[in-house]
């Protein structure tokens, strides 16, 4: 039985990856941050699932998780690492608390590298292991290719993941370890039903962006509730792990034409699209005069 590690397994995309992979015969080690989530997933998925309790930013805890997987593998190679754990910090960049921005990057970027560094020996950089080298799947986003207003911190983290993944793929060729990116659009998960209270954007009510943020939030909630089923992402992850010749990146979107248009438009036209839709078109500033009088 091949083994895969999935981070951020408690809900959403991570949970769906565990569901698809265990149903396909994989043994899955899934990371969660809470003991109660570990118990719940163990009940839901049975013997095919082993919980790992760690926060991806905690190097000591991640190392302990890797040691548990190493012991369970008994010298065999880990077939896959799915770097899925992540958060989204909303808000206009010029008003965003710097600590919040740092946390966004710590979880979505630095945390992914921490996990990768601790698990890559199990994937085959340690050549003493038995079996073919494993693969790394990085969960990015359409926001890793095109940034929307008010999710700039999240987009910055996903743009970083795109570059990190490409560099990793080329560096890890030395060991035969492939790196594949999954870039989903909106995904229908329970988080959208709680969106009115999930994201603390009330902090920005006193800024010039308040009305535009309200519009953007409405669009995102509507898109999420009509988004892709998370199992669709799980199936793409399975393909990335098992295809003989996987693509370097799989883009998935419930509205592929819309996302293609936004990404294909000249940047200034895309700017105009967002400005009109969200009411962001500002007034032209007067040109300073050299005249005195």
In angstroms, the CA 140 to CA 28 distance is 21
Number of H helices, E strands in the chain: 11, 7
Q: State the greatest distance between any 2 C-alpha atoms of the chain, in Å, as a whole number.
A: 85
Q: Which residues of 237-254 are buried (b: 16+ CB within 10 A; e: fewer)?
A: bbebbeeeebeebbbbbb
Write the secondary structure of 159-219 as one string of H (helix), E (strand) and C (coil). Answer: HHHHHHHHHHHHHHHHHCCEEEEEEECCECCHHHHHHHHHCCCHHHCCCCCHHHHHHHHHH
Beta-carbon contacts of residue 217 (< 8 Å; ≥ 6 apart)? 90, 195, 199, 201
Report the sign of the C-alpha dihedral through residues 166, 172, 173, 179, in that order. Answer: negative
- Cα(59)–Cα(187) distance, integer angstroms: 29
State the catalytic residue, choosing from 154, 209, 219, 250. Answer: 154
Q: List the one residue out of 154, 60, 63, 59 whose CA is nearest residue 109.
A: 154
Contact criterion met (CB below 8 Å) for 87 and 65: no
Beta partners for residue 137, in sequence order: 82, 180
Q: What's the token pair of residue 54?
A: 């760690």
Distances in whole angstroms, Cα of residue 30 to Cα of each of 136, 221, 253: 15, 28, 25
What's the DSSP call for residue 116?
H
Q: Is 250 a catalytic residue?
A: no
Q: Are 167 and 52 in contact (CB under 8 A)?
A: no
Catalytic residues: 154
């Amino acid at each position: 039985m091949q083994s895969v590690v999935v981070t951020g397994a408690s809900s959403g995309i991570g949970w769906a990856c565990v569901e698809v992979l265990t149903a396909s015969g994989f043994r899955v080690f899934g990371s969660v941050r809470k003991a109660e989530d570990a118990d719940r997933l163990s009940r839901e998925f049975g013997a095919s699932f082993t919980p790992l309790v760690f926060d991806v930013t905690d190097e000591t805890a991640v190392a302990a998780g890797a040691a548990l997987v190493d012991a369970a593998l008994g010298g065999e190679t880990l077939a896959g690492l799915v770097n899925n754990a992540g958060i989204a910090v909303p808000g206009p960049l010029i008003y965003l608390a710097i600590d919040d921005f740092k946390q966004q990057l710590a979880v979505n970027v630095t945390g992914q590298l921490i996990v990768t560094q601790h698990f890559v020996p199990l994937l085959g950089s340690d050549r003493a292991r038995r079996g073919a080298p494993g693969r790394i799947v990085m969960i990015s986003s359409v926001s890793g290719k095109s940034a929307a207003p008010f999710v700039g911190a999240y987009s910055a983290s996903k743009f970083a993941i795109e570059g990190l993944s490409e560099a990793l793929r080329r560096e890890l060729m030395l060991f035969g370890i492939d790196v594949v990116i999954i870039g989903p659009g909106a995904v229908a998960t329970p988080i959208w039903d709680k969106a009115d209270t999930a994201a603390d954007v009330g902090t920005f009510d006193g800024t010039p962006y308040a009305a535009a943020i309200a519009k953007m939030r409405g669009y995102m909630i509507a898109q999420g509730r009509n988004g892709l089923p998370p199992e669709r992402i799980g199936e793409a992850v399975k393909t990335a792990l098992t295809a003989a010749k996987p693509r370097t990146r799989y883009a998935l979107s419930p509205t592929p034409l819309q996302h293609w248009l936004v990404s294909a438009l000249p940047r200034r036209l895309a700017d105009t699209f967002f400005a009109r839709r969200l009411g962001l078109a500002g007034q032209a500033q007067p040109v300073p005069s050299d005249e005195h009088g």
